[in-house]
Structure formats: C-alpha cells, structure tokens
Amino acid sequence: MYFHLRAVPPSALRNSANWLQRLFEDDWTTVRRRIDRHREEFLYRHHPDHDLLYAGSPPHHSDDGPGADVVLGGSPVPHPDPGHPPFLLLPAARAAQVAAFLTATDIAELWQNSRDTLLPRYGGPPAEEQTRTLFASVHRDLTAFYARTAEYGDAVVKCLLT
C-alpha cells in the first residue's frame, strides 16, 4: 500500500473520478521520470504516520491548515470503485501554502513533538536514529515536491494505492 501524490496544472485538473483514476495508471518508467523532476511523490505504507508528524502532534495538532494538508488534506472525490478510498484534490493555492509551511518547518521540532507517539511503532529507542532519519528524508522529499509544485503554480492530486 502506498500514497501517491502528483502535481497537476490547474488548467488540466478535472473533478472526475474516471479522469483521476486514469491519471494514476501510468507505467513505472513514466512515473520515475516525473519523480526525478519533483512532479510526483510516494509515501509507502507509513503515510498515516507522516500525517501525524505534520498534523497530529501537539502543539501542532490541526484539523485544518497547511500541516493537515501535507499528506491527507484535500477535497475528496469518490473513487469509481466504492471499495477504494477517495482521491484527494489540493488546489494550487493550498499547495503553495503547504510548500511555505514545509519550507519554514523545523523537522527536528516536528520529530520531538511526535517522537513519543511514533517511535514505539518503529522499534523504540534503539531504532530512534534510523527512524528520525527516515522521517527527515521523507520531509526533504515532500518539501522538494511541494516547493516545485508551488513554483509551477500546480495543484496536487492524491491517491491511496494498494
């Protein structure tokens, strides 16, 4: 299971479940090229933990705002297959706010605020350095993705794939 984020020019964006489904059906070679240009990002099976890092930790707990939009934020569009979670659409203006939030965010502070909740899920104190490094790496990737997306003025479309 992984969470797929993709930058889309606002003029190309469609609020259609079938269009969104086709958007995520590209072959891996095409996807890898877009990732290399920071046009796509993937979060593997731990995406709820990354959401917690940005939106779920005191004092940053937020049901709204850029922190809540980093991973699981966006307007839902039902998937054509009712057994799948909805697609999420994050308009260009919100994607730019997320980019500004991530650029200004101190990952060490986020980690410190989330550490006690996240660390037990990854092996506890013996695995802290490795776990913190993982979250810092994903933070850098997300920051680069959203910064490039904001630079182009694009929206973000998100899909949970199994």
Q: Of 106, 90, 108, nearest to 146 (Cα)?
A: 90
Q: Provide the pLDDT for residue 21.
A: 85
In a structure prediction context, what are the per-residue pLDDT tens digits for the chain, which is 162 residues long? 678 888 999 998 888 888 888 888 776 667 666 666 667 777 777 788 888 888 875 545 556 678 888 988 899 999 888 888 899 999 999 999 999 999 999 999 999 989 999 999 999 999 999 999 999 999 999 999 999 999 999 999 998 876
User: How many residues are there in the chain?
Assistant: 162
Q: What CATH number does the domain containing 136 carry?
A: 3.40.1760.10
Q: Provide the pLDDT for residue 57.
A: 55
**Segments forming the whole domain that contains residue 32:** 2-161
Number of domains in the chain: 1
- What is the pTM for the complete model shown? 0.87
The DSSP secondary structure of the chain, one letter per residue, reads -EEEEEEE-TTT----HHHHHHHT---HHHHHHHHHTTSEEEEES-HHHHHIIIIISTTS--SSSHHHHSSS-SEEE--SSTTSPPEEEE-HHHHHHHHHHHHH--HHHHHHHHHHHHGGGGTSGGGHHHHHHHHHHHHHHHHHHHHHHHHHT-EEEEEEE-
Q: Provide the pLDDT for residue 20.
A: 87
Q: Provide the pLDDT for residue 88.
A: 93
In DSSP terms, 139 is beta-bridged to none
